[in-house]
């Protein structure tokens, strides 16, 4: 297995800061905007965005929830594993809100498709945007694009992009894993 | 962390599954309990699955609960009641089910008056079987939802003391409950008149008590079973009134205990026989929570079984 680091150290932090400032440009004080992290790993990114926004906008209350999409996946019974779900925790009303969906990696777009379905079970948002840390471009299966992108990456299907977080994995880093045999 | 998938393709009885399976079912049911309390109570997981509910015996709760669970998972549902079907014209079980299966059904939820009907079916047909009660044998989803309700109210099942009171002899709920609770680490006692306690039940590792007050003083949870008059071919006790006096749970006994116990009942209740109305409707009763949890637990069972591909 070959590893290549795509993002780490100060550049990782600057990327997150930049994404947060882009959010502020569009949502000003976040009075009608909520962040939704996609379980499991998008929620770590969403936590970070929430912390960063709260630091920049101490007056505003930044609301954040976690959304689990397991029961909305389109590969149930078609792919092994992945049956057990993570928790949903959305303790605010989504109806009429601007929702920023947050995930770590955008790849085929199928997760986001499922997330849009899952989100609608909680109400009808006024607007939904998508923020991702890594966009594996040119590999989409459905017509979905991100509104806010940390970094774009060119990769092939056999490769894997892994985002690790200081809080859970000990280090902020994005790595590209490729199997040399493929 | 529970296992990633069930160890079985069918749910025929608690004795065919293991502790990991039960924990996976509970964790999944936690998620589904969230789903059924949302504004839109439905997920699309089983949209390409057809489930037949085949009931050769009457049922209100179990049938409605399964049907609702199936619909909340977006499955297509076929309902079949033996009383209004060709079974009364002499069709055999396998013929009936095979006919239903040729309509491309993936899963069968079956209740049948004979013990082992689900096992028999699973050996002869290709669909996945969920046992919704077979004679006096097992009723696995009831045991799962009972244990799930205890876990929800008391935090954990392990180490808890549960007494099952009443007609143990004719009860599939009792057998499945004993197996499930013991697997999860609870202590189980059965209580009832000697005629309604199977002679060798202590070999399952349960305590046997014939005095209701002693049993209630020992336990954290009392599961009151219905007297199954329809299965009783001879008289097991002199009268319902005498049974109610000896083994009925009333407010007076409940209040005289030195601790608050949880009161459960799998339904349908015979008010005034095994339990009085004021107890059934009291704060200690979790009978209606059991019904709500029934839907979530059955969703988890159906979802996890559907994930077991051929």
pLDDT over 60 (residue B1): no
Task: Quick: pLDDT tens for B2-60.
Answer: 567 899 999 999 999 999 999 999 999 999 999 998 888 989 999 999 999 999 988 88
pLDDT over 70 (residue B283): yes
Please classify residue A41 by burial: count the beta carbons closer than 10 Å to its beta carbon, then call 0-12 exposed, 13-18 middle and 19+ buried.
buried
Select from A72, A76, A121 the Cβ nearest to the Cβ of B38: A121
Least confident among A25-34, B77-86, B96-105, B152-161: B77-86
Q: How far apart are CA B62 and CA A88, in angstroms?
A: 28
Q: Between 3.30.540.10, 3.40.50.2020, 3.40.800.20, 3.40.50.300, what CATH number should domain A9-74+87-155 receive?
A: 3.40.50.2020
CB atoms within 10 A of CB A80: 12
For B227-295, the DSSP string reads P-GGG-SS-SSS-HHHHHHHH-B-HHHHHHSSS--EEE--S---BTTTB-HHHHTSTTB-HHHHHHHHH
Cβ-Cβ contacts under 8 Å, B5 against chain A: 81, 83
Q: What's the per-residue H, E or C state across B12-32?
A: CCHHHCCHHHHHHHHHHHHHH
Task: Please indicate whether, in this complex, the C-beta atoms of B27 and A84 are within 8 angstroms of each other.
Answer: yes
Whether the predicted interface score ipTM is above 0.95: no
Confidence of residue A180 (pLDDT cuts 50, 70, 90): low
Query: Which residues, other chains included, contact A55 with Cβ-Cβ below 8 Å and sequence gap of 6+?
Result: none
In chain B the domains, ranked by start, together with CATH numbers, are 14-138+291-306 (3.40.50.1370), 140-287 (3.40.50.1370)
Catalytic (active site) residue B111: yes
Check CB contact of A76 with chain B, cutoff 8 Å. Answer: yes
Instruction: Give the domain ranges of chain A.
Output: 9-74+87-155
CA distance B309 to chain A (A): 6
Q: What is the structure's pLDDT at A88?
A: 83
What residue of B is the nearest CA neighbor of A77?
Answer: B307
pLDDT over 90 (residue A83): no
Mean pLDDT along residues B199-204? 93
pLDDT over 70 (residue A87): yes
Catalytic (active site) residue B89: yes
Q: What is the structure's pLDDT at A169?
A: 92
pLDDT over 90 (residue B221): yes
Mean pLDDT along residues B89-105? 83
Mean pLDDT along residues B211-228? 94
pTM of the model: 0.88
Phi, psi values for residue A135, rounded to 5°: -110, 110
């Amino acid at each position: 297995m070959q590893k290549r680091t795509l993002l780490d150290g100060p550049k990782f932090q600057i990327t997150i800061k930049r994404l947060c400032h882009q959010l502020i440009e569009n949502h000003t004080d976040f009075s009608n905007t909520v962040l939704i992290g996609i379980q499991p790993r998008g929620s770590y990114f969403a936590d970070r965005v929430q912390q960063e926004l709260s630091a920049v906008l101490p007056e505003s209350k930044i609301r954040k929830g976690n959304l689990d999409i397991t029961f909305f996946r389109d590969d149930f019974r078609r792919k092994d594993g992945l049956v057990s779900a993570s928790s949903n925790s959305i303790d605010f009303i989504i109806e009429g809100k601007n929702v920023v969906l947050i995930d770590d990696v955008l790849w085929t777009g199928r997760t986001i498709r499922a997330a849009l379905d899952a989100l609608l079970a909680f109400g009808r948002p006024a607007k939904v945007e998508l923020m991702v840390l890594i966009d594996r471009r040119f590999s989409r299966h459905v017509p979905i694009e991100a509104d806010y992108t940390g970094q774009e990456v060119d990769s092939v299907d056999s490769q894997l992009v892994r985002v690790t977080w200081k809080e859970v994995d000990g280090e902020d880093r994005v790595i590209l894993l490729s199997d040399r045999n493929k | 962390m529970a296992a990633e998938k069930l160890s079985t393709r069918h749910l025929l009885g608690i004795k065919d599954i293991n502790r990991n399976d039960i924990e996976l079912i509970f964790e999944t049911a936690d998620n589904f309990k969230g789903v059924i309390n949302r504004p839109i109570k439905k997920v699309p997981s089983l949209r390409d699955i057809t489930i037949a509910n085949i009931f050769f015996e009457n049922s209100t709760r179990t049938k409605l609960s399964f049907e609702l669970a199936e619909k909340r998972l977006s499955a297509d549902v076929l309902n079949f009641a033996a009383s209004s079907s060709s079974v009364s014209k002499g069709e055999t079980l396998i013929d009936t089910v095979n006919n239903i299966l040729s309509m491309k059904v993936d899963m069968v939820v079956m209740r049948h008056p004979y013990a082992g009907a689900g096992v028999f079916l699973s050996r002869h047909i290709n669909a996945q079987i969920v046992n919704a009660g077979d004679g006096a044998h097992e009723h696995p989803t009831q045991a799962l939802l009972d244990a799930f309700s205890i876990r929800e109210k008391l935090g954990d099942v392990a180490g808890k003391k549960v007494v099952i009171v009443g007609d143990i002899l004719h009860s599939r709920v009792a057998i499945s409950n004993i197996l499930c609770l013991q697997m999860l680490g609870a202590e189980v006692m059965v209580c009832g008149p000697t005629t309604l306690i199977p002679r060798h039940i202590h070999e399952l590792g349960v305590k046997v008590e014939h005095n209701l007050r002693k049993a209630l003083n020992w336990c954290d949870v009392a599961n009151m079973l219905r007297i199954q008059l329809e299965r009783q071919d001879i008289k097991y006790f002199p009268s319902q009134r005498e049974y109610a006096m000896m083994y009925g749970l009333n407010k007076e006994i409940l209040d005289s205990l030195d601790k608050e116990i949880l009161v459960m009942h799998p339904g349908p209740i015979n008010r005034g026989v095994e339990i009085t109305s004021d107890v059934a409707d009291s704060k200690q009763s979790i009978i209606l929570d059991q019904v709500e949890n029934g839907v979530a637990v059955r969703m988890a069972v159906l979802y996890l079984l559907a994930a077991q591909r051929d």
